Structure 1
């Protein structure tokens, strides 16, 4: 009797997540493309624009924990298209407002509804991929943020050139709403997918999967103080939380201050800086793919998780410290080389989400994911402000030292706080 060949429906699900991440980051960053036009059209100064930039981070970080809780109790097929539609509507509305308060409100609304997105992504990967494939899956969908930022920027600029900054927001919002409909049509949990076969279900989670639907139906998550104590009462979890904040610090630098660094502090013209700015994002894209596939390869070869999972993150954060090299050269080529090495390292470390599914108690993956992304999201609020203070005197060197120091702290966090990679048992 021939063994049934497993279907590969999980890769289609991974494509859905990848595109969702691209849409997610399109709606986070289109404000940076429109910033100059908005500032001129609405007569907003740099301080007011700074408030608009940071407004997303306020709500996004604060609502990570409630968002993670929502992921634990609401079916993914319902939750994901709902939040996608909601943040896309907020994006679209930006095209019709004409005041500082309204723009801040829209950015805060986008942060509210994007908050559960990454805990959702992690839950989907946890349910659709076996443990020895998760780092690769996380690497693929995480790469969507870097690919989006590298290649969507010229597209967004082109849309604004044709339709103005208002048209940019309206078109971005429409794209997200259409994608939410597509998501709802095609996504199913593994046990509900109409064309997955038993061989793939067994591949995903073996014999354990047979009882999963019943377990899911019977499981009741109590959103209690005791659960929050679990989320914040373990050294291992604080290790990955702190590491994610430090990892986010490097990313936020590239999302916010990097273009200004090239133009205002390195004297590059806008067009040239736009081209050069894409190079570190491509480096990060390759870094995250190398990390994920290498980590899963090591797991399949029987290498201990402490090496297979932690080595890419630790080595990536060490590479991120290369950013300080830009302080010691005036050659644009070498500036981009150092920054690209640093962002490649950030990409290597970006599979850190795998530790949520490896360490968190099974019944609290969504909550722990929310806490993890909450601490990481705080970097979007704190790091841009700190950099602004450090560069106030006209010298950007202290800011690059600050980014390197964050990378060192993150590396130390994984070495000394996370310790042995094993699931926390709260039974």
Structure 2
């Protein structure tokens, strides 16, 4: 431990997770730029919905493959250096979208973006595992997970403004450039708790306390041991069923509003951000529910996570009713319910990686589970692309709600307390 400490910053761990949140915002801002620009690009490049789904799929395929590798790279290089490299990568890749000349080249740059953006969630979970004791992890995860929604909230107004006043290329240049600025800030600011000169001894002791997870579950540190546990599959399979919802919201809400309700760019800027504001609330409230259940009802750590996921899945009835919407306002309101519900359950699922696995393997475990989740999202994207123009969007949103309920059944069936074992070397 470095004893050359400066004046401590009170509550430094919350400043650190705020920094992670900014990175998540920029990650999703870059990611969401395409969905807002999609109606314009479909005209510029003469794309149909099927071709657009392949552009989205290229991002998802690269993201799916790289989540496992990015998590392992973060565990190997460390959070500070590894995350900075990935942020630079996604910033440059997003800026290169401006050089696209058709849907095929757009798909290439989109795939490159996905390969670097895959580190965002594993990186965030590594920070949570390093900087927070068990009782605070769902709150911390909820805070940085809000960044995904905030990025989606900012994108409609910012991207629409850029397209209307400076051309579609500027939307990608600006959103990518912001990530490069963040990468420099991250590299010079972030340190682990043991290396930080601004962390007080009292807060360090608080972070390192054993707390609720002592003796609850096995905490393997090697990837081979990770995939052999029931705990890993209790996260990975529900994420496979949950991920299609969030990816559909990210990539298809603007296109749905344009197709079904005749929205234009100004309409998207005014209204398309609301579901992601609701998602912010879901991230925050979902993060608070688990510790409240532990404190008020005496449930154990894992049960508090499972109950949070269950409540979120039940609320997914909102987007399942999109087909009954009688106006765009009702449709957006139902999307708001869906955004709230998904981020509530997503935060609890993500936090389980920090609960179940040694901090040296959190990035790897989160990445591998994320890869499985994104396989589900990628498959559903192709389904949307192939069927949206044939059967409409409504049946597809019903499927999203059904998937989450299946994921809940799997979670309760697989996730159980285990006797502790020594972490693998």
When normalised by structure 1's length, the TM-score is 0.87
Please say if residues 58 and 381 of structure 1, whose CA atoms lie closer than 8 Å, have aligned partners that are also in contact: yes
State which of 327, 342, 363 in structure 1 corresponds to 2:338.
342
- Aligned-pair CA distance for 1:143: 0.6
- Aligned-pair CA distance for 1:423: 6.5
State which of 404, 409, 413 in structure 2 corresponds to 1:407.
404
Structure 2 residue 48 is matched with structure 1 residue 51: no
State which of 147, 168, 171 in structure 2 corresponds to 1:168.
171
In structure 1, what is the equivalent of residue 3 of structure 2?
A: none
Structure 2 residue 37 is matched with structure 1 residue 34: yes
Q: 1: distance between equivalents of 2:419 and 2:9?
A: 29
State which of 269, 278, 281 in structure 1 corresponds to 2:276.
281
Q: Greater CA deviation, 254-263 or 269-278?
A: 269-278
- Aligned-pair CA distance for 1:99: 4.3
**Deviation sequence 1:24-75 (CA, Å, 0-9, x none):** 0011111222333333334444443332222111110011111111121112
Q: 2: distance between equivalents of 1:335 and 1:51?
A: 26
Q: 1: distance between equivalents of 2:42 and 2:315?
A: 36
- Aligned-pair CA distance for 1:85: 0.7
State which of 113, 116, 120 in structure 1 corresponds to 2:119.
116
Q: 2: distance between equivalents of 1:237 and 1:56?
A: 25
Q: Greater CA deviation, 49-58 or 300-309?
A: 300-309
**Deviation sequence 1:204-232 (CA, Å, 0-9, x none):** 10499xxxxxxxxxxxx8xxxxx444333
Q: 2: distance between equivalents of 1:27 and 1:241?
A: 26
Secondary structure class of the residue paired with 1:102? helix
Structure 2 residue 65 is matched with structure 1 residue 62: yes
State which of 229, 233, 236 in structure 2 corresponds to 1:238.
233
Q: 1: distance between equivalents of 2:48 and 2:407?
A: 35
Structure 2 residue 90 is matched with structure 1 residue 87: yes
**Deviation sequence 1:224-280 (CA, Å, 0-9, x none):** xxx444333223321211111222111112112223333323455664455343222
Structure 2 residue 307 is matched with structure 1 residue 311: yes
Q: 2: distance between equivalents of 1:149 and 1:299?
A: 32
Secondary structure class of the residue paired with 2:273? helix
Please say if residues 54 and 382 of structure 2, whose CA atoms lie closer than 8 Å, have aligned partners that are also in contact: no
Specify whether residues 93 and 392 from structure 1 end up closer, same or farther in structure 2 by C-alpha distance, changes over 3 A only: closer
Specify whether residues 116 and 424 from structure 1 end up closer, same or farther in structure 2 by C-alpha distance, changes over 3 A only: farther
State which of 258, 262, 270 in structure 2 corresponds to 1:263.
258
Specify whether residues 332 and 178 from structure 1 end up closer, same or farther in structure 2 by C-alpha distance, changes over 3 A only: closer
Q: Which runs of 5 or more structure 2 residues have no equivalent in the other structure?
A: 1-6, 212-220
Q: Greater CA deviation, 155-164 or 192-201?
A: 155-164
- Aligned-pair CA distance for 1:285: 1.1
Please say if residues 193 and 204 of structure 2, whose CA atoms lie closer than 8 Å, have aligned partners that are also in contact: yes
Q: 2: distance between equivalents of 1:274 and 1:163?
A: 16
**Deviation sequence 1:121-143 (CA, Å, 0-9, x none):** 10111101111111101000101
Specify whether residues 91 and 336 from structure 1 end up closer, same or farther in structure 2 by C-alpha distance, changes over 3 A only: closer
In structure 1, what is the equivalent of residue 108 of structure 2?
A: 105
Q: Greater CA deviation, 290-299 or 76-85?
A: 290-299
Q: How many residues align?
A: 407
Q: 1: distance between equivalents of 2:386 and 2:39?
A: 22
- Aligned-pair CA distance for 1:23: 0.5
Secondary structure class of the residue paired with 1:98? coil
Q: Greater CA deviation, 121-130 or 266-275?
A: 266-275
In structure 2, what is the equivalent of residue 366 of structure 1?
A: 363
Please say if residues 359 and 422 of structure 1, whose CA atoms lie closer than 8 Å, have aligned partners that are also in contact: no
In structure 1, what is the equivalent of residue 321 of structure 2?
A: 325
Q: 1: distance between equivalents of 2:336 and 2:9?
A: 40
Q: 1: distance between equivalents of 2:28 and 2:269?
A: 17
Specify whether residues 420 and 333 from structure 1 end up closer, same or farther in structure 2 by C-alpha distance, changes over 3 A only: farther
In structure 2, what is the equivalent of residue 215 of structure 1?
A: none
Structure 2 residue 272 is matched with structure 1 residue 295: no
Secondary structure class of the residue paired with 2:121? helix
